Structure 1
Amino acid sequence: MGSTSPIPVLIAGAGPTGLVLGLTLLQNGVQVRIVDKDPKRHPGQRGSGLQPRTLELFHFLGVLDDVQVNALSVMPRREYKLPGGTETLKVETIAPIEDPTPATPYVNASLLGQYNTEAILRAHIERLGGTVEYGTELRSFEQHPNHVEATLVTKNGEKEKTETLTSHWLVGTDGARGIVRKQLGLSFIGETRTDGAIHLLGLVEVQGLDADHWHQWAEMLNGGLMLIPTERTGYFSFFLGRVQDVEKLLVDRDALVETFLNRVERQDLVFGKFEAVSPYRPNIRMVDKFGEGRVFVAGDAAHVHSPAGGQGLNSSVQDAFNLAWKLTLVEQGLASPSLLATYTEERLPVIAAMLQKSTKLFEALQKGDTERAWKRGGDLRMLGVNYRWSSIVVDERTPKAQSPESVNPYGSGTDGDLRAGDRAPDAPGLVNVGSEEADDPTSLFSVFRPSHHTALLFNIPAEEMEQVLRVAQKYPSGSVKTVSIYPQGTSNPSVVGRPDLAIADRDGHAYAGYQVSPEKPTIVIVRPDGVVGGIVYGLSGLAQYFRGVFDATGDAL
């Protein structure tokens, strides 16, 4: 049995959740070790729908360009008439294509196979010197006051190598069947639908279908088949509803092809290779809390649900993004470990609301209510997900809600009022003070990053600016970025103090998006996860927010 030197964070599970968490921590200078028991991970197309909020987070992480090169747009759904299977019964738009706005540059979902998403995240991790260890399994762990001791087993053929690893923190992103949640003893509240139906998911090569539609024969959950084009030419992801003799179909390709042909009732389609075929039974569950002590769960390890609505992977990415910046500050000794309690406080109501939405869509599919079942967009874009009730947000403009029950955790962020806890909007058309008008303008999304808070300073009087900057800049270099924003039409403003960035709101989008009057001094603090942490009017509010998050006297761990 070997041993290694202590590391800050051990991540068990190298799906999108674990990879986003690992990449975000590495960008913050926190060393991680990422392990996955699967020796050769190939998850196929699961989690292919990337919602607009996830695209924003990928932008902050610096991976969005790579995603967009490969991703597809969401296409219309074509349903075929049975019997026959060739005549079009109807074509429906799943989600209306919307034009981007200054506040929301990514407003439409994209499709990218999970294996491609993982490959992109893994490549960025490797550029930072990180690695992903496939074929290494977390077998058990023990918590201690100042560390976690984990037993890892790496398989090499028939041989096993056992290792004891000490880490400051352990995060289980190891899926619904993973060991972390189970050994931690967290409740997994919910239900497994017991109507006996088992469905199959996977990837199949198809000849004879266009790649401009989702193709459907009958209602999926009632014995139908759905084929969705992927970024791999000729390959479609499939959902095969209510299958019999599951074990045979998993190993007998000819039987699977025959089942497909029986479902489509046509002989002009040619089915080739199958990949990543797996059974699916409706399971709707979530934890009662997202961690205990020095161990946390995220993604499928914390919540499982229907794939209807494409919320699973996207919620998991938000779990990771929420946890990463808090774990960074605590690990670096800049915040008290009590900050980590807000991971559960903020994410639990959001996930509960998400399960309600995805379950309603799933039930509509079961009932054949296609109008409700295939309605996408709206809240499912996840731009309204918010933490208005959080104990660490500070809002002097709008009284804070006292509990998540008094707000909609999924949709209040798009109700017309910008409040602390909401998604921070973008604002393009910003020009560096002192630059020529011809210079390329920037945007707030080009400033926000998961490695720092951003303090947006609107209309701060000269006599107060030095004090405001002193409060924001007393924290370690790089942890808070200060941005002075001057109103549209301001001519040659005189920059007071030394903010990290001084910009003029040339097109007026910053003041409009953040609902700031040119006459009212306002400070908006944007957290590393792209959420508005504070909307305050001066020094006291600014100091109050930072007191709730930072703790320079916290013990280094």
Structure 2
Amino acid sequence: MELNNVKETGVLIIGAGPAGLTLAVDLARRGVAARIVERGERLFPGSRGKGLQPRTQEVLDDLGVMDAVRAAGGPYPPMMGWEDGRRLGAFEMIVRTGPTPGTPYHDIWMLPQWRTAEILYARLLELGGEVEFGAACTALTRDADGVTAHLAYADGSAETVRAAYAVAADGGRSTVRKALGIGMAGESVDPLPRLVADIELTGLERDHWHVWQQAKGGGLSLCPLAGTGLFQMLAQYDDADAVPDPAPEAVRRLIAERSHLAASDVGEVRWTSTFRVRAAMAERFREGRVFLVGDAAHIHSPAGGQGLNTSVQDAYNLGWKLGAVLRGGADPVLLDSYEEERMPVAAGVLGISTRIHRAGMEGNAKEPRRTAEVHQLGLTYRGTALAVDQRRVDESALRAGDRAPDAPCALPDGTPFRLFDAFRGPQVTVLALGGAEPSAPGGASVRTYRVGGPAPDLLDPDGHIRDGYAERGVFVIRPDGHVGYAAHGTDQMAGYLTRLGS
């Protein structure tokens, strides 16, 4: 299709939240031509999603931003209950775990959403990308060869963009999803309204997350936002017909009414938002050459910290596949696997969020409800088209489709190394264990490591690779850190790699 005065790109990303920025970073490091446009004049300013689960931390490690994430955030503090100005005692909302050889990131890490976006944006700039702010997608049409989008800019100018593919990352009220006619099926999880705000606050220490569960009018929580001088306020209203007032003076008044703090203890109110908790999922995650990621595809209760994390992993799943098609020569049928893999995951995660939320409404609020199930380390693509396992092994064994675990090991000269060091980057990784000899094609798109055998690339002195994988065999690790192919030999591996564009 030929259009005059139209700018062309490989991928048009609509929305610069965590999902859109993750995708833009992943495509930029793959050398894929992409544009990311954002209706707002700046990045989202609020804390909203403030917890990065262990699996998301692994993704951010691969994207090269984990050092910045660790420096900017911190662990979740214990909860402190209050009533009538008295401390009721500390309790834990999460079940804390320790690291293992396969899971170096083991607990949720607090980082306000605005800071996560800033870090991803800085990484995008490092890679030569940019975000076009004040750019709204006003119309989008599709055909067999690509997508045509019309952009309207805040200065009154307009532009037409032609892209091979477009990705809607424009949030729960996605205009792109609506324009495509994709329905959003869901339910109200909790009819009570809520008000969330980022505030400056004095009069409370920052080593606890403070909660007033029995406050008149509804519960109140004040959480110190790690790495900042701010608190996140969350207020629930007992009256379903209440209309929360987001004005700064109203926020100060509410805190004074529901806690022992004075209105004067509240300084600047940086950001506010009102919402009601619902769970919903798009009827499909793809319409031709347009894909949905993040809140455009699924909306979660904030309970359990799943929404932002699932959004980041949507983008991480899609990014390497778009790169393989646009740069690696993979058959576009590879893109069918995005919806096949991510829709069941999103449905399962929505179920976890909803169950945790309702347990909080009905049960003992001091009971730890955030167990390892929220870490998203156990999410799997078993049984899908890209999960090829030619072995007969127990269901408890690592199988194709599963997340590929980390393992401390060593280079042949004894230098400490980790499997995540091997996986880091946009390539496919082949692990050959116990003397198995891979016949993988060379080139930058595939990196091969022999573990054991006469000429090893990696040593496994403590058996951590063997424990996480197998004594012998071949594993193809996809660019998103999932096992794609597992076998005792390499008979069909070359064909599998071709499917991945490698």
TM-score by length of 2: 0.94
**What is the one-letter code of the residue matched to 2:287?**
E
**CA contact 1:171–1:295 (8 Å) conserved in 2:** yes
Residues of 1 paired with 2:146 and 2:97: CA distance?
Answer: 48
Cα distance, 1:6 vs structure 2: 1.0
Give the match for residue 273 of structure 1.
268
Over 3 Å counting, the alpha-carbon distance change for 1:348 and 1:505 in structure 2 is same
> What per-residue deviation string (whole Å, max 9, x for no partner) do you get for residues 42-65 of structure 1?
332111100010111111111100
Give the match for residue 259 of structure 1.
254
Q: Residue 375 of structure 2: which of 373, 381, 391 is its match?
A: 381
Question: Secondary structure of 1:198's partner?
Answer: strand
**CA contact 2:15–2:37 (8 Å) conserved in 1:** yes
**What is the one-letter code of the residue matched to 1:395?**
D
Give the match for residue 431 of structure 2.
456
Q: Residue 187 of structure 1: which of 183, 187, 194 is its match?
A: 183
Cα distance, 1:119 vs structure 2: 0.9
Q: Residue 250 of structure 1: which of 246, 253, 256 is its match?
A: 246
**CA contact 2:74–2:227 (8 Å) conserved in 1:** no
> What per-residue deviation string (whole Å, max 9, x for no partner) do you get for residues 100-141 of structure 1?
111111101110011111111111111111001111111110
**What is the one-letter code of the residue matched to 1:328?**
G
Over 3 Å counting, the alpha-carbon distance change for 1:327 and 1:267 in structure 2 is same
Over 3 Å counting, the alpha-carbon distance change for 1:222 and 1:20 in structure 2 is farther
**Within 5 Å, which residues of 2 pair with 1:209-224?**
209-218=204-213, 223-224=218-219
Cα distance, 1:219 vs structure 2: 5.7
Give the match for residue 113 of structure 1.
112
Over 3 Å counting, the alpha-carbon distance change for 1:209 and 1:397 in structure 2 is same
Q: Residue 467 of structure 2: which of 509, 512, 515 is its match?
A: 512
**CA contact 2:73–2:110 (8 Å) conserved in 1:** yes
Give the match for residue 397 of structure 2.
417
Residues of 2 paired with 1:50 and 1:194: CA distance?
Answer: 24
**What is the one-letter code of the residue matched to 2:94?**
A
> What per-residue deviation string (whole Å, max 9, x for no partner) do you get for residues 171-220 of structure 1?
0000011211111121211123573x211112011101111111000169
**CA contact 2:169–2:296 (8 Å) conserved in 1:** yes
Matched, 1:393 2:393: no
**Within 5 Å, which residues of 2 pair with 1:337-376?**
337-371=332-366, 374-376=368-370
**CA contact 1:220–1:226 (8 Å) conserved in 2:** no
Residues of 2 paired with 1:549 and 1:233: CA distance?
Answer: 42
Question: Secondary structure of 1:6's partner?
Answer: strand
Over 3 Å counting, the alpha-carbon distance change for 1:443 and 1:262 in structure 2 is same
Residues of 1 paired with 2:163 and 2:293: CA distance?
Answer: 18
**What is the one-letter code of the residue matched to 1:270?**
D
**CA contact 2:95–2:369 (8 Å) conserved in 1:** no
TM-score by length of 1: 0.85
**What is the one-letter code of the residue matched to 2:335?**
L
Residues of 2 paired with 1:27 and 1:266: CA distance?
Answer: 48
Residues of 1 paired with 2:171 and 2:4: CA distance?
Answer: 27
Q: Residue 481 of structure 2: which of 496, 509, 530 is its match?
A: 530
Give the match for residue 146 of structure 2.
147
Give the match for residue 407 of structure 1.
none
Residues of 2 paired with 1:221 and 1:353: CA distance?
Answer: 35
Cα distance, 1:365 vs structure 2: 2.1
Residues of 1 paired with 2:499 and 2:233: CA distance?
Answer: 47
**CA contact 1:51–1:108 (8 Å) conserved in 2:** yes
**What is the one-letter code of the residue matched to 1:64?**
M
Cα distance, 1:266 vs structure 2: 4.4
Matched, 1:39 2:38: no
Residues of 1 paired with 2:393 and 2:455: CA distance?
Answer: 34
Which segment is superposed worse, 18-27 or 197-206? 197-206
Question: Secondary structure of 1:236's partner?
Answer: strand
Over 3 Å counting, the alpha-carbon distance change for 1:442 and 1:194 in structure 2 is closer
Give the match for residue 171 of structure 2.
175
**Within 5 Å, which residues of 2 pair with 1:13-92?**
13-81=15-83, 84=84, 86-92=85-91
> What per-residue deviation string (whole Å, max 9, x for no partner) do you get for residues 65-124 of structure 1?
01000111011111112xx1x212231122233221111111011100111111111111
Residues of 2 paired with 1:323 and 1:42: CA distance?
Answer: 23
RMSD: 2.3
Give the match for residue 291 of structure 2.
296
**Within 5 Å, which residues of 2 pair with 1:304-315?**
304-315=299-310
Residues of 1 paired with 2:190 and 2:420: CA distance?
Answer: 45
Structure 1: 5+ residue runs without aligned partners? 401-414, 488-492, 496-501, 553-557
The size of the alignment, in residue pairs, is 499
**Percent identical residues:** 37
Question: Secondary structure of 1:53's partner?
Answer: helix
Matched, 1:427 2:407: yes
Over 3 Å counting, the alpha-carbon distance change for 1:430 and 1:254 in structure 2 is same
Matched, 1:316 2:311: yes
**CA contact 2:433–2:450 (8 Å) conserved in 1:** yes
Residues of 1 paired with 2:345 and 2:208: CA distance?
Answer: 32
Structure 2: 5+ residue runs without aligned partners? none
Which segment is superposed worse, 2-11 or 207-216? 2-11
Cα distance, 1:334 vs structure 2: 2.1
Give the match for residue 7 of structure 1.
9
